[in-house]
Structure 1
Amino acid sequence: MKLARLFTWSPHQGQLRAIVKTLCYRLFMIMITVGVAWIITGSGTDAVSIGIVTNVTKTFTYYLYERMWDHITWGIDPNPN
């Protein structure tokens, strides 16, 4: 199998869809991170700070990761019917 067949530069999903998916996922992750940080630190302020900083960073990296995978055709059936 040629390596070039595993990649494509035509997106499978729209950019807006990827952004909405990223933001929804990150909101969920912020809640989890803040909850865990609050249990560990005992401070709501520290927990929110930890949750926001880590998840803002992760939001951008996840978006880039999602867009990168949108160009990989491995595992996608080109003829689903």
Structure 2
Amino acid sequence: MPGGLSRTAVHSRRRALAKTLCYRLLMVAITVCIAWLVVGDLDDAVNIGLLANVVKTGTYYAYERLWDRVRWGVSTPA
């Protein structure tokens, strides 16, 4: 395998990606349903659901990148 990855590692990444995408789709659906109940308009609810989840995904990515810089709680190899 290229890059020294085992077949299991590639499978795990694909599985994690599939789970992540399914979760985000579920969250979009929930957000759209709640927004629809609140605003009463399906088009507005879809726009809210999509925008909110794009912002949340971007925020989470930035949050993870920030934590990559924090050394607290990370052990160094001996």
Change in 2 beyond 3 A, CA 1:71/1:27: farther
Give the aligned partner of residue 43 of structure 1: 41
Equivalent in 57, 60, 63 of residue 62 of structure 1? 60
d(CA) in 1 for partners of 2:50, 2:68: 27
Higher helix share: 2
Q: Deviations over 1:37-63 (max 9, x none)?
A: 011112211110111112212211211
User: Residue 34 of structure 1: CA displacement?
Assistant: 0.8
- Amino acid of the residue matched to residue 40 of structure 1? V
> TM-score, normalised on structure 2?
0.55
Unpaired stretches in structure 1, ≥5 consecutive residues: 1-16
% identical aligned pairs: 51
- Amino acid of the residue matched to residue 27 of structure 2? M
Q: How does 1:1-80 map to 2 (within 5 A)?
A: 20=17, 24=21, 25-76=23-74, 78=75
Change in 2 beyond 3 A, CA 1:62/1:37: same
Give the aligned partner of residue 10 of structure 1: none
Q: How many residues align?
A: 59
> TM-score, normalised on structure 1?
0.54
d(CA) in 1 for partners of 2:41, 2:48: 11
Q: What is the root-mean-square deviation in Å for CA atoms of aligned residues?
A: 2.6
d(CA) in 2 for partners of 1:75, 1:26: 28
| Structure of higher RCO (CA pairs closer than 8 Å, 6+ residues apart) | 1
